[in-house]
Amino acid sequence: MSKTRLAPYFHPTQIVLVDDDIDFLGNLSLQLEADLPYLLFDSTEKALAYINDRDDESPSRQRFFRLEDEQEGRRHVTLDTDALAREMHFTNRFSRISIAMIDYAMPRMNGLEFCRRIRDPHIKKILFTGVATETEAVEGFNDGVIDRYIRKSEHNVYEHLNRTIRELQHAHILETFKTAIDVFDIEMPPLLGDEAIAELLGTLRSRYEFVEYYMVFNPAGFLLIDGDGELYRLVIVDELEQQALVDQAAALGAPAECVRLLRSGENLLDPAFMSRAQNVTSDAYRHWKSHMRVAECINGARNYRWAVFESDPGEHGMSRPRSTFNRYLEWLDTMGYSLM
């Protein structure tokens, strides 16, 4: 399972920042990128209680898998795309804690001891350290107590911090997912093991400003969701999958020009439009041109073509999430400090 580069879903998760210097916490909150959800604590006891009391809220990691059949003692387990679709409707998904970041020099309990007392092994730990405590930070890192340490005095410290947080948010979800798949005999979709697909999602994040993604199939790709809950459908197909789309369009009575453009590999048709065409009259393809996009190439473990389509609510069998990330950030702005 080590070949899995991507989890089949991602959504922002909560960061807990702990420091007894309230002025430092206030300045730190101004330096974090605006779309990073965080809570501030000036007490190690309050922060640790908050983190550990939320253990029971973590959903089962096995929820993304479905047992198809069992023959000769061998289980055939598949990725449950319906479960992935349900994930974006969990109202508490953004409040799941992925990262705890704490200053080393804290009263009553230093930062390393705080990290040792966090019960959830999947929560990533970042230690803020000064020159005098760097040796302890290195030992904590080598012992696996913390995942990163950052010197408060280093050049471009906040740029480093923002980059590290984003990296660890993804690592948290991926490792949580891989913990589940390690107990199953399951072949993961090739897209999740291809570094080129991970890079593509990173590129599209800035272009479409999406904050969540969820894997979908028929055809393969991802549902992208921005901070306001707007949906985009990323289609990614290899040569065989592209041919299947051509055959499907031809079987549904698509015009010859439409089929020709699809067969050339230079264009892709909105899968939601093709789905609707199965249930309407023969003139369903009358407006097909407005639902076609130029396909871009990406060369990874396979040669892929991809395109992004805007999605209306209800398309692809999925509705917009009612709990959006921007609404969650608004809640943090009004309620976050009350937990200190």
What CATH number is attached to the domain comprising 62?
3.40.50.2300
* Claim to verify: residue 168 and residue 265 sit in the same structural domain: no
pLDDT at 161: 95
Per-residue pLDDT of 231-260, as tens digits, reads: 999 999 999 999 999 998 888 888 899 899
Alpha helices in the chain (DSSP H): 22-31, 44-52, 81-87, 111-116, 134-142, 157-181, 195-208, 239-251, 256-264, 271-277, 325-335
Does 16 map to a domain?
A: yes
* Claim to verify: residue 219 and residue 173 sit in the same structural domain: no
Does 326 map to a domain?
A: no
* Claim to verify: residue 263 and residue 296 sit in the same structural domain: yes
Does 338 map to a domain?
A: no
* Claim to verify: residue 181 and residue 203 sit in the same structural domain: no
Task: Please give the model's pTM, rounded to 2 decimal places.
Answer: 0.88
Q: Rounded to the nearest 10 degrees, how much is the dihedral formed by the CA atoms of 235, 238, 242, 245?
A: -60
Q: How many domains does the chain have?
A: 2
* Claim to verify: residue 309 and residue 227 sit in the same structural domain: yes
Q: Cα(110)–Cα(107) distance, rounded to whole angstroms?
A: 7
pLDDT at 83: 81
Does 273 map to a domain?
A: yes
* Claim to verify: residue 285 and residue 180 sit in the same structural domain: no
pLDDT at 70: 59
* Claim to verify: residue 50 and residue 174 sit in the same structural domain: yes
pLDDT at 74: 59
Domain boundary (142, 172, 187) is at: 187
Domain boundary (187, 214, 249) is at: 187
**Contacts with 337 (C-beta within 8 Å, 6 or more apart), sequence order:** 40
- Ordered DSSP codes for 75-132: EEEEE-HHHHHHHTT-TTGGGSEEEEEEESS-SSS-HHHHHHT---TTSEEEEEE-GG
Does 200 map to a domain?
A: yes
* Claim to verify: residue 214 and residue 241 sit in the same structural domain: yes
Domain boundary (158, 187, 216) is at: 187
pLDDT at 79: 79
pLDDT at 133: 82
Does 134 map to a domain?
A: yes
* Claim to verify: residue 167 and residue 253 sit in the same structural domain: no
* Claim to verify: residue 171 and residue 194 sit in the same structural domain: no
* Claim to verify: residue 94 and residue 171 sit in the same structural domain: yes
pLDDT at 116: 96
Range of the domain at 249: 190-317
Does 255 map to a domain?
A: yes
Which residues of the chain carry a pLDDT beneath 50? Answer: 1-2
